[in-house]
Structure formats: C-alpha cells, structure tokens
Amino acid sequence: MQPLVLLSFVGLALAGLPYQGLFHGRPRHGFVDHGARLSHQRAGKVVSSNAEDYPGVDTKWFTQKVTHFDDSNKDTYQQRYRYNNNFRKGNDIVFLLIEGESEASLRWAGYPKYQWLQMAADHGADAFQLEHRCFGQSRPYDDLSNTTLEYCLMEEALEDVASFIQGINVEMKYKNPKWVTFGGSYPGILSATFRSIHPELTVGAVASSAPLTFTFDMWEYAWSMEETFKTIPGCAEAIQNSFTHAQQMILDEDQRDKLNTKLKLNPPFTKTTNYIEFDNFFENLFAVFQDVVQYTMDGRNEATKGPEGKEIYSLCKLMTTNDDPIDKLWNVIVWSNDQDGEAITEFPNSYDDFITYLRNETFDDEADGLPQASNRGWLWLQCSQLGVQQSTDQGKNIFGQIIPINYFIRLCKDGFGEDFMSAQNQYDRTAALRKKYGTGNYKATNVVLPNGSFDPWHKLGFYTPDEENGVVPVPIDGTAHCADMYEEYDGEPKDLERARQIVRDNVAKWLK
C-alpha cells in the first residue's frame, strides 16, 4: 500500500492537502489504511495486497442495479466482491463482511487472523467481502460528479447487500443458508441496519463501533476525546494550554509569524489571512489528536499494539513536558507521522487547495494510490446523509471553539456546490436519514454491538440490551475503534478477550 503523505495530482501541490492521518473521522486510506501497512513493515511484518499471497480468495463481480428505487432507470454496474473458500465445509453457513467508505482491502478478505475469518474457520463458513458502491472499483458510473453521487447513498448500499445475498444464494445453490453480516464503523451501521430492515435474509449481525444515532453536529466526539485525555494526569490540561496558545497567537497578527515558524505552516498565515483558513488549520491540527485517540490500543498495526506506540499514553508524555506549548504540538505532529512511517517537514495549511482536491470527480485511487476519490465519497456521505461532523461546539472544552459547525457546512457547499449542499439541504437530508434509520431507538434481533470506551464514536452507539430479541451491546474498556475485529496480540487491553468471546458465543448461538 501507499505512504500516508499524498503525492501530487493534476499539478496540485502537497502543501494544499491536510494532515494525512485522519479525514473527518475515517482513516485516510480506509479501514486497514496505508499507514498500517508501513507500520507493519517497519516492525518486520509483511502486509500484502497481492492476490497470490491470499490463496483461496477470488475476486469476482456481481451485477447490481444503479438504483433500487427507480424502475425507469435500467442501468446496472459491476460491484466487486471477494470469495474466500478456505474454510468451506458445504454446510450453507455464509459470512459477509460489508465494506464501507474506501476501496475494499484484499487483506480483510484473506488475512486469517482477523476475527470474522477466525469464526469462519470455526464454523466452516463461506466468506464473502462486498465492496461499497462508489468506492474502489465498484462504480455505478465512470466519475464522482454530483449526478453520480446521488446514487451513492446508504439506502442504495443496503439494497445492494440484499440483492447480493439473494443472488449468491442462487449461484451457490444454498439450500438453507445461514448468513451472518459483519461490519465496523460506517459498515457497522450498514450491518446493524441491514439486520433490522431485512431480517429474513440473515440469522444475525455483528456491528462493531457503529454510531446508530445520526446527528448533523457530532460535538460529542470532542467531548469523548476530552474524557479520554482526562484519564491521564495532567494531559488534558496540557492540551488545553497548547490549543489556547495557538488560538491567541492566531488572533495576534504579530504572533502569527512565530506560529508559522514553530509549526512550519505551508502556506503561512499573514495579516490578511481569511478566517476560513484559521478554521481549516485547527481542523487539521485537531485531526492529529483524533487519529491517536480513535485508534488507541486497537491492534490494527504494530504502532497501535501496546502502550509504547501510537496511542494516548505516548501522546500525553509529549504534551506533559516542560517544552513551549506550541513546540509540544509540533512534537506530536512529528511523532504521529513517524509512527505511521512517514517523516513530516511542514504542516499543510491551504483551504483553497484542499477544496480543489476534493472537487476532483475522477476515480484516482488505483491509478496513483491516492485516497482522493474515497475522501470525496466519504465527505458526500457525511454532507448528504450521515452528518456526524466533528465540531467543537459543545461549550467549554479543552480544545476551545476552534472548529464550528459552520466550517463543515461551508466545506460541503464548496465541495459539491450550493445547489446540492445549501445549509438547509444538509440539515434536511440528515434529518431524513435519522428518521428512517438513526433515531437511536434501535430495534432488531440477533445483533452484537461492540464499542470501545476510548473510541469517540462510541458516544453515538446503542447500549440498551434486549435479551428477548438478542440485541447485545458490548462496551469494551480501555480500547478504541473496531478493536474487536482485529487479530489478538500480546499485551492487548484485558477487556478485549471478554468482548470477543461474547461475539463468538452469539454467532455460534445464531448458527445453531
């Protein structure tokens, strides 16, 4: 896979792109991101994306309708999926990993230590991985124009899953299939929601780190980060001090040059810098801290295994030194990138170039190893349906009022145009999806819902057990985003073992 630092495209300079670790709450290169690969390689591990390294995993194509809701549109597209037959015992037990807002990683289809494949081995299951429409090679049309993106909606993705299951049942001649779906993060939403709207097609669902309450302004994300930092003495106070200093220096024209120098901003702030550039700067700076908290101790790569890697404990050591408050921020930026295998010499800082980047409507992911198409697709899902924009509008907090919800409203407008993304349109579309799927009053049968206590997304999770219907929330202490899905590792948070056993027990119960 590719380095975290993006290469230039169509003449766009690297300086125009934001911090490379996280993009609005998602790994910049997808679930098993490119930085994860670099981290493994630095530790002497091999993380392959070559098909020959995953024998028994075939890449195939399934014909889908471009839209499941308009019979007048007869267009179809080819949706990519992978079939792992290494564990097959011909017992009509079928596992489906639903992919989400990035290219579907071959590693997730073939690496046998991931939990869903461990369970596939236990039960002799056929294992399928389905790529999400409009990501990777699963393209309803040849671009990501606004017209195409109107088909890149959660409702369409859910019906893709239904169509896929029904089609594979026929193709594989299953007699009495028992399907179980798996998904984490946004795919966790899909897995849980699919179980609630199509219970006839599966026997159960595992939905890891799934935010099931949709809200346009997810100020709870920063609130959760603050709670996590407060578990380490002195850390939250040090972060607050550094962010306060940065805000004060931006407001003082004479201090901006000092901030430019210490954080190596490119382009630097000037006396005439527009306010949107300040918001964009703080969004990129905040993302560095998001990236560390969201994946603390999840074990997805060597950097996040144990208390000496890329996690909150090491970050807090850097923040609680006697260094200058702004120097601390730069130290965290450098350390975070280094943990992902990439040195950083400057901090990208241009809103206009970022918008130019996001307006690119081409599928570039496979051609150049860039995540631009996935980032545009994910921003579309947020702006048009999910919301969950991570502002700091929760009131008094350690970060300050650095990222207002208006920043995201403008970003959506600038990225997709006022006609598609007026403020009212954004609110209305999120409200409509919330009413349909995401009120927080989740109803289903046979669903396990794991959530890590350090994961900021857990604030929108579902925690009301329903023993009669088999709805089982699983809070996991001391870990973060989707940690229950990865391989086991020495020194992992103690509560992970308990959580994984609950998942295994419930899957086994459904299959009986």
Whether 287 and 392 have beta carbons less than 8 Å apart is answered as no
Query: Closest Cα partner for 428 from 388, 385, 390?
Result: 385
Residue 314 Ramachandran class (φ > 0 left, ψ -120 to 50 alpha, else beta): alpha
196 is a catalytic site residue: no
Neighbours of 174 (CB within 10 A): 18
481 is a catalytic site residue: yes
Q: What is the helix (H) or strand (E) element at residue 413, kind and residue range? A: helix 405-416
Label residues 373-390 b or e (16+ Cβ within 10 Å = b): bbbbbbbbbbbbbbbbbb
Residue 454 sits at φ, ψ, to 5 deg, of -85, -15
DSSP 295-333: TTT--SSGGGSSTTSSSHHHHHHHHTSSS-HHHHHHHHH
d(CA 348, CA 268): 9
| Type of residue at 120 | A
Q: Give the residue carrying structure tokens 């940065």.
A: 246
The one catalytic residue in 217, 291, 393, 455 is 455
Q: What is the helix (H) or strand (E) element at residue 452, kind and residue range? A: strand 447-452
d(CA 416, CA 425): 12
245 is a catalytic site residue: no
Cα–Cα distances (Å) from 121 to 88, 141, 177, in that order, read 8, 37, 17
Cα–Cα distances (Å) from 267 to 14, 242, 396, in that order, read 11, 21, 30
The one catalytic residue in 185, 191, 336, 350 is 185
d(CA 101, CA 146): 17
d(CA 415, CA 160): 27
Q: Which residues form the catalytic set?
A: 185, 455, 481
